[in-house]
């Protein structure tokens, strides 16, 4: 797409999205933002509600908005905006490995925010989405971001990898041995490795049995080229471009209130997430008991209430950025 054409489509999308956010009630509003690299699908719940908008940044990389469906309940108070990152969900899926990097996804988030006219807002990032959202405010500026919510956050790949090894050490010996054997042989499609993934995921990714339909649907649509390029064959085997990324030294630069949320059995271990919160000037931690990485699905009422309380407090305080 030529630069002039991109600018024109962005302006049109901005105008349409502004109308959608100003409208009242009714069904969710859906559409596409024409980014420089392809169309990005979005869905807005609660248009016209009085609270500050909440922009939802999903994880993966390569996942989609579907697994975060419980957050739509927050649209009774404010607009809740979901979008599928390029390469996944209902967004375009270009066949270009050069696109699968953090900097491009950060720029995409900025394009989505601008196109939808979200001048002042909250941002919630889940899992890899937490790294994406945090990198966005650190690189594009914190103006207009009233508060940041980081759910099961991947903020330091080295710490994440170390935590997965600690959690793997708590699994039965046969599971650990299967992982070690597959990693040594790079045989990630082996039945033994796949079985180890299943056991691990049911402990630390989602403890519900069966998994909710929306979570299964989201996994079924995982954009594997993106996930494999940026992360690897599983949550506990990281071979991709994110392997060395670490935002933890910069958490002290976050000036807005930041809510950290994780489950007691989360892949993002409470000890690590608590340490992140301690590095953040206005950071606070909520640990959801009995839940894991999918705490938003396992304990939706508790998760959503934590977000409601946090956003209500920030809105009431009207604290400007320092």
Active-site residue flag, 156: no
The C-alpha angle 104, 247, 87, rounded to 5 degrees, equals 25
Q: Quote the distance between the C-alpha of residue 110 and its chain's center.
A: 15
Catalytic: which of 163, 218, 266, 295?
266
Active-site residue flag, 266: yes
Are the CB atoms for 279 and 287 separated by under 8 Å?
no
Are the CB atoms for 150 and 284 separated by under 8 Å?
no
DSSP codes joined into one string, 72-108: GGGGGTS-EEEEPPTTSTTS-----GGG-SHHHHHHH
318 Ramachandran zone, left/alpha/beta (phi>0; psi -120 to 50): left
Are the CB atoms for 196 and 37 separated by under 8 Å?
no
Catalytic: which of 34, 45, 91, 127?
127
Active-site residue flag, 127: yes
In whole angstroms, what is the distance from residue 31 CA to residue 239 CA? 34
Catalytic: which of 45, 293, 295, 296?
293
Q: Which distant-in-sequence residues (6+ apart) come within 8 Å of 7 by Cβ?
A: none
Closest by CA to 66, choosing from 213, 266, 174, 214, is: 214
Strands (E), 76-230: 80-83, 121-126, 145-151
Give 175's Cβ-side CA count (13 Å radius): 17
In whole angstroms, what is the distance from residue 67 CA to residue 78 CA? 20
Which residues belong to the active site? 127, 266, 293
């Amino acid at each position: 797409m030529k630069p002039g054409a991109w600018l024109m489509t962005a302006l049109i999308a901005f105008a349409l999205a502004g109308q959608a956010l100003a409208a009242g009630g009714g069904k969710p509003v859906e559409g596409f933002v024409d980014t420089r690299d392809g169309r990005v699908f979005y869905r807005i719940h609660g248009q016209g509600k009085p609270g500050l908008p909440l922009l939802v940044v999903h994880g993966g990389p390569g996942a989609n908005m579907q697994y975060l469906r419980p957050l739509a309940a927050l649209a009774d108070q404010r607009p809740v905006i979901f979008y599928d990152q390029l390469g996944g969900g209902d967004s375009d899926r270009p066949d270009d490995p050069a696109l699968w990097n953090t900097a491009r996804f950060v720029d995409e988030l900025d394009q989505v925010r601008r196109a939808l006219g979200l001048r002042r807002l909250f941002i919630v990032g889940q899992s890899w989405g937490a790294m994406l959202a945090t990198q966005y405010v650190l690189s594009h500026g914190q103006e207009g971001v009233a508060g940041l919510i980081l759910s099961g956050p991947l903020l330091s790949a080295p710490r994440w990898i170390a935590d997965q090894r600690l959690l793997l050490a708590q699994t039965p010996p046969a599971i650990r041995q299967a992982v070690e054997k597959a990693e040594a042989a790079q045989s990630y499609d082996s039945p033994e490795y796949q079985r180890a993934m299943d056991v691990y995921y049911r402990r630390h990714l989602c403890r519900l049995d069966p998994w909710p339909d929306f979570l299964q649907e989201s996994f079924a649509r995982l954009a594997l080229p993106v996930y494999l390029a940026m992360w690897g064959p599983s949550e506990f085997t990281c071979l991709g471009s994110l392997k060395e990324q670490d935002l933890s030294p910069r958490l002290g630069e976050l000036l807005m209130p930041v809510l950290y949320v994780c489950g007691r059995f989360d892949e993002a271990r409470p000890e690590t997430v608590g340490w992140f919160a301690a590095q953040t000037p206005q950071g606070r931690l909520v640990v959801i008991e009995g839940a894991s990485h999918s705490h938003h699905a396992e304990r939706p009422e508790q998760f959503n209430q934590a977000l409601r309380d946090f956003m209500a407090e920030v809105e009431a305080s009207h604290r400007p950025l320092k």
